[in-house]
Amino acid sequence: MNRISFLKNSALAAGSILAGNDVLASNNINREVAPGKPFNLNYAPHDGMFKNSAGANFLDQIRFMYDQGFRSIEDNDMSSRSPAEQEKIGSLLAKLGMSMGVFVVDKGGNGANTLADGKQEHINIFLKGCRQAVEVSKRCGGKLATVVPGDFARNLPLDIQNANVITALRKGAEILEPHGIVMVLEPLSDTPDLYLRTSAQTYLICKGVNSPSCKILYDMYHMQKNEGNMINNIKLAWDEIAYFQIGDNPGRNEPTTGEVNYKNIFKFLHEKGYKGILGMEHGNSRPGKEGELGVIEAYRESDKFL
C-alpha cells in the first residue's frame, strides 16, 4: 500500500475533540493525565490525524497537537510541499519548541527505482532526492529522512544486491552527512518483493555503509508482521536505530487496538534511555470525534508505564 495514500485515507476517518477542554474517557480507558501535559516519550502525529479537530490547515493541526501534549510531528509528504509551506511549518515548530520527525526522500527508493540492481540511473535518482532533502531540511528543520531501497533485483545474487545497496547509500550519506541529516532505512512488510525486510538485514546494511547519516527506522507495525520478538530484536540492533514508528497489528491503528503490548515496549525504550521521536504512522480505529479522542486516550494509557 502506498504510504502517503494510506495515511491520508486513514486520516479522513478522524473525528474531533476540543483542545484544552475536559474530555470523556473512552469505555475501556481511564485517563489520569490531563490533556496538554507532555508525554513521557516523544510521540509524533502526522497531517490529517486530527483534521476534524483542528481543520484542514496543517499549521492549525500542529497547534492542536501541541495543546494535546505532543511535542513532535512527522510528515512523509514534506518533500512535495511548496518551499513556502515548508518554511511556515519549520517556523511554527521552532516557535512552539516542537521537533520535526521523518520526511521521505523524494524517490528515495521504490519498486521502480531499486538500488539493489546497481543501475546508475537509479542511483542518480536517489542522489537527486538526497540533494533535495538537504534543501527541505533547511526549510522545515527536519534532520531525519526516510529511505526505502526498493525491490529485490532477483536476477542477481543477494550478496551482490547488498553490495549495490551499500554502495548507493554511501554516496547518499556523503551528501547528507555534512548537513547533519540522517537517512533512516525502513524495512517494510507491504510486499515480498521489497528488498529490505528485517531489522537484522538493515543492521548489516548500516554497518556496511558505516556513516552516522545511515541508520535504521524501526517501524513496529512492519516488524511485528515480518519478525516479531521486537524487544529482543531492538536490543540486537540498538546502536544503529535512530527512529521508531508505531502502529498496532492487525489493522495498523493506534496502540491498544491490536496484539502489540505497546505499554511494555514504551517502558523498555524509556529504560534504554531513548530520547528520540516515535512517529505515529497509523490510522484511527474508529471514525469521527470518538476516533480522534480514542487515539489520544490510547497514547495516554500506553504512556503510563512509570
What is the domain range of residue 184? 3-302
| pLDDT above 60: residue 68 | yes
Contact of 14 with 291, CB cutoff 8 Å:
yes
Query: Mean pLDDT across the stretch 116-143?
Result: 96
| pLDDT above 50: residue 263 | yes
pLDDT at 222: 98
pLDDT at 46: 98
CATH assignment at residue 235:
3.20.20.150
88-127, pLDDT tens digit by residue? 999 999 999 999 999 999 875 566 789 999 999 999 999 9
pLDDT at 108: 57
23-65, pLDDT tens digit by residue? 323 333 333 445 689 999 999 999 999 999 999 999 999 999 9
Contact of 72 with 44, CB cutoff 8 Å:
yes
pLDDT at 6: 43
Among the listed ranges 12-16, 67-71, 191-195, 231-235, which one has the minimum average pLDDT value? 12-16
pLDDT at 113: 87
Query: What's the rounded Cα separation, in Å, for the pair 60 and 64?
Result: 6
- Domain tally, the chain: 1
The pLDDT confidence band at residue 11, using thresholds 50, 70 and 90, is very low
pLDDT at 112: 73
Query: Mean pLDDT over all residues of the chain?
Result: 90
Strands 72-73 and 144-147: unpaired
What's the distance, CA 287 to chain centroid? 22
Query: Mean pLDDT across the stretch 244-267?
Result: 98
127, 194, 230 from 73: Cα distances, Å: 25, 27, 24
Query: What's the rounded Cα separation, in Å, for the pair 144 and 75?
Result: 11
Give the global pTM. 0.89
Task: Give the list of residues 6+ apart from residue 187 with CB closer than 8 angstroms, or none.
Answer: 194, 196, 197, 198, 199, 201, 202, 216, 219, 222, 223, 226
Query: Mean pLDDT across the stretch 55-76?
Result: 97
| pLDDT above 70: residue 171 | yes
**Other C-beta atoms lying within 10 Å of the C-beta of residue 165:** 26
pLDDT at 265: 98
18, 110, 139, 246 from 93: Cα distances, Å: 21, 30, 11, 21
Q: What percent of the chain has pLDDT over 70?
A: 87
pLDDT at 111: 66
